[in-house]
Amino acid sequence: MNKENSLGIVNLQYAEFAQTADALELESGQKLGPITIAYETYGQLNPEKSNAVLILHAFSGDAHAAGYYEGEEKPGWWDDMIGPGKAFDTNKYFVICSNVIGGCRGSTGPASINPITNKLYALTFPIITVVDMVKAQKKLIESLGIKKLLNVCGGSMGGMQALQWVALYPEMVASAIPIATTLKHSPQQIAFDEVGRQAVMADPNWRQGNYYEYTQPERGLAVARMIGHITYMSDESMETKFSRRLKDEAYSFSFASDFEVEGYLRYRGDSFVKRFDANSYLYITRAMDYFDLSDGKLFLEPEKVKTKFLVIAFTSDWLYPLYQSKKIVRALKHNHIDVASCEIKSTYGHDAFLLEVKEQSRLISHFLKGVYQNGK
Amino acid sequence: MNKENSLGIVNLQYAEFAQTADALELESGQKLGPITIAYETYGQLNPEKSNAVLILHAFSGDAHAAGYYEGEEKPGWWDDMIGPGKAFDTNKYFVICSNVIGGCRGSTGPASINPITNKLYALTFPIITVVDMVKAQKKLIESLGIKKLLNVCGGSMGGMQALQWVALYPEMVASAIPIATTLKHSPQQIAFDEVGRQAVMADPNWRQGNYYEYTQPERGLAVARMIGHITYMSDESMETKFSRRLKDEAYSFSFASDFEVEGYLRYRGDSFVKRFDANSYLYITRAMDYFDLSDGKLFLEPEKVKTKFLVIAFTSDWLYPLYQSKKIVRALKHNHIDVASCEIKSTYGHDAFLLEVKEQSRLISHFLKGVYQNGK
């Protein structure tokens, strides 16, 4: 464990919303409750409660954004960005990250027990949307006594949540940093998600979602994840990382994984199924596909929005291409909202939001400092 | 049937190479024989046998490039380009198209009976490469009494075969038109193929390739094809064709195919499994992944190559991007080989080689005319 500038050991916490009045009214019209939200916090909430930052995770992320769990070697997924002296400086800010509802990493999702029936939800779990994710997060934030967030920030699906936060509760968000994201999923993005879902559902071990007593639909979920990984990288980053290098000296003239890139994808697929629930895969991709804040749906009353924005995108990201971030910036400017934007040169593709630490840190720490000082 | 400028009814023919001496010595070191090659011809071979054009099909194509089968409504896959007065003008040229070995549309492949054992090959079929495909085609061409081809032309995997033809038999090819293709599969291209293979092999109905007495691994093969279709289109062409249009009026809040793009992909996946053999999917994608004519491997003796080239690529093709065609052109120029090239502006993505008829026709008919007249 490299604890330099690290938060050290952190713990997953749980917030329970068990009252009938706490039930979430979902976008579908259904209700969801009781709800558990798994979350972590780093740093200290100041007495004015004005230094809270909400980090929003991407599709397969979780509440463990930074620091280390006891006995583990691998830190949280954005540890490079969150900690003492880092972009989200825990000496200054109180940082919160929670697992989305529908997820499988502590928050209520399809693999949870429905406390009313005492059975696992599986596909009886209602379809949730990004709106519903944000409404659940609002409950958590309010339970922590926070009335206004200094910042909401996330990449990919995390960026959708950041946009949705401001769309729903502009008065609760001083600033927002949507990264490598979009106002809506394009048909190509929906198509990639749909193929992943079909891969899961094609696996007979999926059993219409009722696999919990048996085994995960591992092969189908692994295939879905492999597709995902191709879209997270770029043609160039794959060339740099793998080129056409073989695992052995020559072609095997078989269907073995001769090429390093094949071995890598199989490995990533196989390790994903150990940590991620197949039904969550279906629910969360569906939430992303339903997400749509385009065509004026971003703000009902833009004149009331005082939230400051920093929009970040990456040149080689072809899953959430530059033009989608440009559309976010255009929509914000059209509504006379204060927005800074940056296209970071990177070869890492969509993964860049996890890997381009230096440039993002410079932009974000500067932006946050400005917002924090102005708010004082 | 719109028979205007059409070849009318055409027939699939078969060439048999049953002699021991005819067996193919494969790149793997194995032998394959006897071999059947399914092919079609259009137009008339002239007395000098100098007007023969070999059309090479893409991954899921077949020998039925043009005209109509008796009783069918749909013409061959490149009917817009081949026929009287068309780019490959059958009033002038004798056009041949054959199904690749390893395929499932008449030529010897994994779904064929091994005439030696009288059993279906399935996975006992040897791994074949683009080199092997071309060597088999050479047998066909020679059996037709043709010593030199006026032209070899194909898109995608067809383009690889065109390049491979000149690499192996430059003296037999007066001109070549590789379209939307590459000197080698990149790791991203290998990755997409590998995910498709994994989708097929993950289907328990695949049974290690021994499914012929039972049923195709339909779900797995459909998923593989869905991935393929995303890569054949472009972000822009999907936006134009589908945008976020729903099949019904509102979200179903379920995993039904709400979006038109989802319905389209499912339909394309389902119809593919009716016409394509899952094992052929594995063998042919493997052949493409093994293809590599980069780094000077294109020509052993470039000074002997008199073949004229026309290289065509499409701006929105992200599966076989422009830079790959540029590398072909650079390799040819480096070897002082006569090459013209064109980047056609198109929003259709990789599918453009099937759809951009007008521009391709203009380029190809002009190029062919020049080669034909010079050869006289």
Query: What is the tens place of the pLDDT at every residue in A170-199?
Result: 999 999 999 999 999 999 999 999 999 999
- Establish if B6 belongs to a structural domain: no
Per-residue pLDDT, A21? 86
B310 band by pLDDT with thresholds 50, 70 and 90: very high
B2 band by pLDDT with thresholds 50, 70 and 90: low
3-state secondary structure of A313: strand
Per-residue pLDDT, B56? 98
B111 band by pLDDT with thresholds 50, 70 and 90: very high
CA end-to-end distance (rounded Å), chain A: 37
CA angle, residues A76, A80, A86, in degrees to nearest 5: 120
B248 pLDDT more than 50 = yes
**ipTM of the complex in this document:** 0.96
Instruction: Measure CB to CB from residue B226 to each of A185, A198, A282 and give the nearest one.
Output: A198
Chain B residue with the nearest C-alpha to that of A285 = B255
| Same domain? B29 vs B68 | yes
- Establish if A3 belongs to a structural domain: no
| Same domain? A53 vs A29 | yes
A4 pLDDT more than 80 = no
The Cβ of residue B323 has, within 10 Å, a number of other Cβ atoms equal to 13
Residue from B131, B193, B195, B203 whose CB has the most chain A CBs within 10 Å, to mutate: B195
Size of interface A-B (CB pairs under 8 A): 154
Domain extent for B196: 189-287
| Same domain? B198 vs B255 | yes
Mean pLDDT over residues B11-31, rounded?
Answer: 95
Query: What is the tens place of the pLDDT at every residue in A62-117?
Result: 999 999 999 999 999 999 999 999 999 999 999 999 999 999 999 999 999 998 89
A375 band by pLDDT with thresholds 50, 70 and 90: confident
| B31, burial (CB in 10 Å: exposed 0-12, middle 13-18, buried 19+) | exposed
A3 band by pLDDT with thresholds 50, 70 and 90: low
A317 included as an active-site residue: yes
Q: Judge whether B294 and B184 are in contact, CB under 8 Å.
A: yes
Percentage with pLDDT > 90 across chain A: 93
Give dist(CA A81, CA A94) in Å, integer.
Answer: 14
Name chain B contacts of A219, Cβ cutoff 8 Å. 198, 202
- Establish if B1 belongs to a structural domain: no
Mean pLDDT over residues A234-260, rounded?
Answer: 97
- Establish if B335 belongs to a structural domain: yes
Query: What is the tens place of the pLDDT at every residue in A27-75?
Result: 999 999 999 999 999 999 999 999 999 999 999 999 999 999 999 999 9
3-state secondary structure of A39: strand
Mean pLDDT over residues B122-133, rounded?
Answer: 98
Q: Indicate yes or no: CB of A223 within 8 angstroms of CB of B222.
A: no
- Establish if B4 belongs to a structural domain: no
Catalytic residue among B98, B107, B112, B156: B156
Catalytic residue among A57, A64, A185, A350: A350
Instruction: Measure CB to CB from residue B223 to each of A27, A199, A282 and give the nearest one.
Output: A199
| Same domain? B114 vs B31 | yes
Catalytic residue among A62, A203, A317, A351: A317
Instruction: Measure CB to CB from residue B188 to each of A30, A220, A230 and give the nearest one.
Output: A230
Domain boundary among A262, A287, A312: A287
Per-residue pLDDT, B127? 98
Query: What is the tens place of the pLDDT at every residue in A122-166?
Result: 999 999 999 999 999 999 999 999 999 999 999 999 999 999 999
A156 included as an active-site residue: yes
Per-residue pLDDT, B21? 86
| Same domain? A194 vs A181 | no
B287 pLDDT more than 70 = yes
Name chain A contacts of B240, Cβ cutoff 8 Å. none
| Same domain? B168 vs B307 | yes
Residue A26 to residues A17, A123, A161, B145, Cα–Cα distance (Å): 15, 16, 15, 72
Minimum distance, in Å, between the CA of residue B255 and any CA atom of chain A: 7
CATH number, domain of B313, equals 3.40.50.1820
- Establish if A279 belongs to a structural domain: yes
Q: Judge whether B82 and B43 are in contact, CB under 8 Å.
A: no
Per-residue pLDDT, A376? 63
Tokens 């030199």 sit on residue: B148
Per-residue pLDDT, B1? 45
Mean pLDDT over residues B3-19, rounded?
Answer: 91
| Same domain? B135 vs B69 | yes
Q: Is the pTM of this model over 0.95?
A: yes
| Same domain? A129 vs A273 | no
CATH number, domain of B197, equals 1.10.1740.110
- Establish if B261 belongs to a structural domain: yes
Per DSSP, B342 falls in state E
Tokens of A233: 């990288």
A2 pLDDT more than 70 = no
| Same domain? A240 vs A308 | no
- Establish if A4 belongs to a structural domain: no
| Same domain? A168 vs A297 | yes
| Same domain? B221 vs B132 | no
Per-residue pLDDT, B48? 96
Name chain B contacts of A227, Cβ cutoff 8 Å. 195, 227
Peptide bond into B84 cis (omega under 30): no
A202 touches chain B (CB under 8 A): yes
Percentage with pLDDT > 70 across chain B: 99
A255 touches chain B (CB under 8 A): yes
Per-residue pLDDT, A366? 98
Per-residue pLDDT, A1? 45
Structurally, chain B folds into a number of domains equal to: 2
Residue from A195, A208, A216, A226 whose CB has the most chain B CBs within 10 Å, to mutate: A195
The closest of B47, B23, B25 to B33, measured between CA atoms, is B23
Q: Indicate yes or no: CB of B318 within 8 angstroms of CB of A321.
A: no
| Same domain? A179 vs A32 | yes
> Would you give the distance in Å from CA A180 to the centre of its chain?
11
B361 included as an active-site residue: no
